[in-house]
Amino acid sequence: MAPSIFLHVFFYMAHFSFADSTILYNGFREATRLILDGAAVVKPSGALRLTDNSQNVVGHAFFPDAVKMFDKSSPSYPNASSFSTTFVFAIEPSSLGQGGHGLAFTLAPSTKFDGAESGHYLGLFNPVNDGNPSNHIIAVEFDTVNGHGEGRNSRGNHIGININGGSSVSSSPASSSYYIDDEIWREIQIDSGDKFAVWIEYDALSRILNVTIGFLELKPEKPLISYPIDLTSVVKDQMFVGFAASTGIETSSHYILGWSFAVNAPARQLWYSRLPDGPKEQNLSSSSNNLQLKVVLAVSTIVAILGIVFLTFLFIRMKKTENLEDWERDCPHRFNYKDLYTATNGFNDSEQIGIGGFGSVYKGKLRSTGAEIAVKRVKRNSSQGMKEFAAEIESLGRLRHKNLVNLQGWCKKKNDLLIVYDYIPNGSLHSLLYTPKQSLVLKWEQRFNILTGIAAGLLYLHEDWEQVVIHRDVKPSNVLIDADMNARLSDFGLSRQYDHDEISHTTRVVGTIGYIPPELFRMGKASKSADVFAYGVLLLEVACGRKPLGSNQFILVDWVMEWYERGDILYVADSKLDSIYKVEEMEMVLQLGLLCTHWKLEARPSMRQVMRFLNGEDPLPAFDAWASSQSILEPTSRLTMNDRSSALSIGLISSASINVGR
């Protein structure tokens, strides 16, 4: 689902459990506690049939326990609580085009509807109480007959929101509601006998009631109806939820095949594969001995197979002639857009695990393999967005290292640029350093292991792969931590690559302020040494638990250098460690951070030397050996905060590639 006002409801998940206000039926075979009334029955298949094809009948099915609609612990209190429901229904008319009258999802103060009539009143109202505010009834109707309050009936195919009566305060035709994306459109006829999924969501904070309808599994991005209403004066403290349906002279069989409901939380996902068959499937099964039907099915199957063969041949031929760019030919698996749409639940807000200037990242699960994935949805609002997309695909496509995020594939469809990675469960190093969950503080052993892993990944990029890859945006938010607390370098949107025997010709100033070396502002040329500088800042950041830039012109590198010159470098160690660390390792990491951030790029070590220092294979050079004749603290040898700010005008300075929590 695209970002919407219902985002507030997902926020509630952090505050409410599912225990008291959740209903879930994947079929109704075991639903012995439902209150059934009138023509409503549960079929042996597990389908809940509200009415059959009899004339002028009513059927009710309600959950037996009332739900509390005013909760003092709810963020919306004293207003009515948010709620969410999803269900699957099917309506089969007695004859083509002659069905009636429809069904309604209902919230009511009682499960008894004394005097309620069939037909347009749907078994909820009658001519006397129709429209009376004392009813306190909300109904979302799926109406197959028009003509309420009029002289004659006509065929209907619309969905409406009804408050206390049979007339809709807001409605829309169902036939034009279902768009999967810009290219796919399928018409909905609600009394076709097909199964349709419905999502009804009320956000108490924004006071919007959304109604969405579609085919199974693929929820449309936009609701069919989005109606502003405050339900506080409509609902009572205790309400019953369920369904009502009725027939008139025109008749239909009305079925509910699965149902989920929740208050102050999103309704749980239905298991579509477990739902009972709808009336269309049942009718096909019961008439399987009909010879004429067998012939029709056989012919249809042959035609369908021939059609599939023809379309497959056409698709392959089109693929061969498709004008692909070079990076598209050389890159890994290209995913089908529908598969990624389904995996992320339609890019639903509830699946979003990160957001940044480039776009958003969503957690997903591939239906074909069950594998968890992370899908980056890149904004394509400029040529730069496309360049970064192509750069990341091209750079990561063939790279394979245990300390790099594994790229599974990509998808390019109109304005959607999608990159698919392995899902990394522990989020970013930035989030673990600055916003740890449940007050979790990274231990020194974990920090040292992470720093070593990042160095190993950069060494692979700089020296061990077939080409040189400059990452150009090394920082904690671009380091992901896997389940074993190992580092995975990610986000290669700004990276560049060139042959080992060449010199980098990169001239644009890119990166994140605080991690960009001084020479990049002076000369505009990036090299492997620029990554070493950023890694040095990251070393200090992890050891000190402080960001590279702060208020009052605080610069982390200068601060650590000052305490080093005072002979008390351990003063800068992160206080959250409570001095629990190996002193020689902490001193080595801090001094290595200063060495990597030396103002002279030629004085910085290579990543291979960095690995030897971290592994204890070589000692760090003495301070005087690498400080040269000019201190990093002297004004002529470093950028001031004003210098750093003015440098923003030199070129592109990116924000963090993705926020905390990726």
State the catalytic residues. 473
Amino acid at site 311: L
Cβ-contact 366, 380 below 8 angstroms = no
Which 3 state secondary structure label does DSSP give 535? helix
CA angle 89, 94, 95 (to 5 degrees): 115
Q: For residues 208 and 206, what is the distance between their CA atoms, to the nearest angstrom?
A: 6
Check whether 379 is labelled as a binding-site residue: no
Cβ-contact 68, 74 below 8 angstroms = no
Q: For residues 496 and 166, what is the distance between their CA atoms, to the nearest angstrom?
A: 64
- Diameter of the chain by CA atoms? 99
Residue 89 φ/ψ, nearest 5 degrees: -130, 165
Cβ-contact 237, 68 below 8 angstroms = yes
Q: For residues 540 and 447, what is the distance between their CA atoms, to the nearest angstrom?
A: 11
Q: For residues 504 and 526, what is the distance between their CA atoms, to the nearest angstrom?
A: 7
Q: For residues 639 and 263, what is the distance between their CA atoms, to the nearest angstrom?
A: 55
Give which of 76, 77, 44, 36 is closest to 60, Cα–Cα.
36
Q: For residues 462 and 457, what is the distance between their CA atoms, to the nearest angstrom?
A: 9
CA angle 82, 84, 88 (to 5 degrees): 165
Q: For residues 332 and 396, what is the distance between their CA atoms, to the nearest angstrom?
A: 9
**528-544 helix and 607-614 helix, angle to the nearest 10 degrees:** 30
Buried b (16+ CB within 10 A) or exposed e, 524-541: ebbbbbbbbbbbbbbbbb
Cβ-contact 93, 286 below 8 angstroms = no
Give which of 616, 552, 625 is closest to 594, Cα–Cα.
625
Give which of 34, 31, 18 is closest to 243, Cα–Cα.
34
Which 3 state secondary structure label does DSSP give 592? helix
Q: For residues 39 and 54, what is the distance between their CA atoms, to the nearest angstrom?
A: 9
Q: For residues 69 and 79, what is the distance between their CA atoms, to the nearest angstrom?
A: 9
- Assigned token pair, 536: 């040095």
Specify the DSSP element, H or E, that contains 395: helix 383-397
Buried b (16+ CB within 10 A) or exposed e, 19-53: eebbbbbbbbeebeebebbbbbbbbebbbbbbbbe
Contacts of 170 (CB under 8 A, 6+ apart): 160, 161, 225, 227
Q: For residues 507 and 497, what is the distance between their CA atoms, to the nearest angstrom?
A: 13
User: Binding site, residues?
Assistant: 376
User: Binding site for ATP, residues?
Assistant: 376
